[in-house]
Amino acid sequence: FLDASLLPNCTTQSDMRPSPSRGGLGTAGLRPLTNSGTRLNTGSRLRTGVALATPGTTAGRGLSALRTTATVTHRPVTQQGLSGMKTGAGRGRQVQDLSYYIAVVRNKNSAIREETQRLQEEFKKRESDVNGYGALEKQYDKLVKEVRTLEGQLADYNLAMDKHRHATDPEELRAFQAQIEEKVKVEGQEVDQIFLQRQAKEKLIDEVEGSIAEIHRMAEERINQLEPEKLERYRRLLQQSEQFQAESTKMQTEADGVNARIREAEIALKENSHREEYNRLERRAMQLRREKESLEYDLKISQMDPQEAFAKLREKVTDDKARTEELEGQIESAQEELGSMRRHLSELTSSLERGRPGNQDGASMDKIMQRDREMTDYIEAFDGKRTEVLDKQRIAQDTIVSLLEQISNNLHSKDNLPSTQAHKELKDEVTFKERQLKSNTQTLQSLQMHKRRTEAELEKLQNLDVNIKNELEQLAANMQKWEAEMVDFDNVDAIREAAEGTEQYLEDLRGQFIKRRDNMREQVHVMSRSHEAVKSQLARSETQKELESVEKRLKYHEQTIFTLREFIETRGRETDYQTVKAECVKVTEELNKMHRMAM
């Protein structure tokens, strides 16, 4: 390869670019490449057919140069030797003309076509995968059914082999077949009964749905007979009700989700023993802080002058009384707010009831009934509230009286109060007495335990004579029994004769059993030959073939019954109207309850 910069006759797109100073004539394209101090190379001559630029052909030549694509590879070897092709070191494209944008659009179109083709191939592949999946699923269902059939046949073969191993009598097989036929007949009757019940249920459901549709139709007719304003209002309220129901369902779903997350968080908190321990310790610390504050306050009061202590206690009583009154006020305000909310709820319920057709004239009556209910509730609850308030006042009065008595006693005994040293001595004495009491309590407990052990040992000693007497009597009886047995064992000849007689008897029994075994083997051999003959005859019998065909039909019928039972159970679960009925009854009861409350 040759270097493109050493070839003066080789023009590139950048070299053929028009120059503003020369009227669109490229310098590199119309004159040779020269270097200072060197002579022109042989290859620097003008190419054949290259004419000088004239004013009329300058612009066209510049445009043709822009459209020229030069090929500088695979040139013959000249004086420069072998070398690789070098990339252009020029400034690249400087003018983005129409051809540039056409090339860009062509590249984008090619990329879009390739992407479209790739997506089409992927779509075809997905479609073939879906079709293959459907075919495989059908084949899977078919194979599952075949496996179930083969499992039934295998169970039948296992049953037949079991009967054959146990040498079951053919009569038993016939009885078993008759039993199966009877069972299939009973199950068929049950299936027919279930079908009849299902038809009856479907008929009942259709009747109920028809009655519901008739009720809706009658209600729609009555609604359509209303005045236009009332009808419009009813439509608007119905739309609002549907909107509220949708919002209620959405909120209920969100509430269920929140409750589920709360339950999960509660379970996680319950499982977290460290958090429970922390809460327990926090509560304990808070309780101890309150006790500390109370003790510090009591200590502070005990160290004060009686007059100051009396003032502090009176201030504390006043604060407690004010706090109690504040809490009672909060309770009363909460009760009033609760009552107002209940009244507001009743008003909303009554307004909803009044919004229905036929309830426009009963608005004043509803208000009167509401006021009457409020007065009745207030009168009924007056005695209880009055008793509660009187009890609270009595408790507060008793507390004040006890505090005043305590203050009075403290004032009377202020002159008899011990000094600090005496108080400390009394405190040390109390501590010493408590230690002695604790030691004495432990000593008393140990003595009581020793007393119980001693009493138990004494009881054992008292019962020892009776136990020894019983053991002696038992030993005497055993000795008499053993002496009688020793008399029998003294006669060795008699014992030997008895043993020989027993041995001879056992030998006779052994011989009898051996003979019976041989006879049983011969009988079993004869019966086996007879069984094989009967078996081969049974295999050639037409009745056996009919029985086999009947068994196959029974298997098929059992499989059909099983499939129908599953279908019936599925349809029964789908047509279960008890839930809808319970919801309807619940809604009816709520509506009746709201109607009674509105009345």
Are 12 and 67 in contact by the 8 Å Cβ rule? The answer is no
pLDDT of 4 above 50: no
In a domain, 399, yes or no: no
In a domain, 472, yes or no: no
Do 23 and 59 fall into the same domain?
yes
In a domain, 523, yes or no: no
Residue 19's domain comprises: 1-94
Q: What's the pLDDT at 512?
A: 92
Do 2 and 27 fall into the same domain?
yes
Do 3 and 90 fall into the same domain?
yes
96 — phi, psi (to 5°)? -95, 90
pLDDT tens-digit profile of 517-547? 998 888 888 888 888 888 888 778 888 888 8
In a domain, 246, yes or no: no
pLDDT tens-digit profile of 57-86? 444 444 444 444 444 444 444 444 444 455
pLDDT tens-digit profile of 105-157? 999 999 999 999 999 998 888 888 888 888 888 888 889 888 988 888 888 78
More confident residue, 453 or 87: 453
Concatenated DSSP letters of 505-565: HHHHHHHHHHHHHHHHHHHHHHHHHHHHHHHHHHHH-HHHHHHHHHHHHHHHHHHHHHHHH
Do 135 and 60 fall into the same domain?
no
In a domain, 249, yes or no: no
Q: Which of 152, 168, 184 is the last residue of a domain?
A: 168
Average pLDDT over residues 314-319: 78
In a domain, 65, yes or no: yes
In a domain, 196, yes or no: no
Structural domains in the chain (count): 2
Please state, rounded to an integer, the average pLDDT across all residues of the chain.
74
Do 8 and 89 fall into the same domain?
yes
Q: What's the pLDDT at 86?
A: 52
Q: Which of 151, 168, 185 is the last residue of a domain?
A: 168
Do 125 and 148 fall into the same domain?
yes
pLDDT of 447 above 80: yes
In a domain, 18, yes or no: yes
Confidence of residue 240 (pLDDT cuts 50, 70, 90): confident
Phi-psi region of 426 (alpha: psi -120 to 50; beta: other; left: phi over 0): alpha
Q: Which of 168, 196, 227 is the last residue of a domain?
A: 168
Q: Where are the alpha helices (DSSP H) in 166-227?
A: 170-224
DSSP secondary structure code for residue 40 in this structure: P
- Rounded Cα gap, residues 329 and 115, in angstroms: 77
pLDDT of 177 above 70: yes
Query: For 200-214, 386-400, 522-536, which range has the lowest pLDDT when averaged over its residues?
Result: 386-400
Sorted by sequence, the CB contacts under 8 Å of residue 55 that are 6+ apart come out as 23
pLDDT tens-digit profile of 16-37? 344 444 334 343 333 444 444 4
Cα atoms in the 13 Å half-sphere on the side-chain side of 145: 10
- Rounded Cα gap, residues 193 and 576, in angstroms: 18
As a whole number of Å, the CA-based R_g of the chain is 57
Do 66 and 152 fall into the same domain?
no
pLDDT of 478 above 90: no
Do 72 and 107 fall into the same domain?
no
Collapsing DSSP to helix, strand or coil, 176 comes out as helix
Percent of the chain with pLDDT over 90: 4
More confident residue, 19 or 560: 560
Do 89 and 75 fall into the same domain?
yes
Average pLDDT over residues 97-105: 85
pLDDT of 556 above 70: yes
Do 136 and 63 fall into the same domain?
no
Do 82 and 103 fall into the same domain?
no
Do 48 and 122 fall into the same domain?
no
- Rounded Cα gap, residues 552 and 549, in angstroms: 5
Collapsing DSSP to helix, strand or coil, 93 comes out as coil
| Dihedral sign, Cα of residue 466, residue 472, residue 475, residue 479 | negative
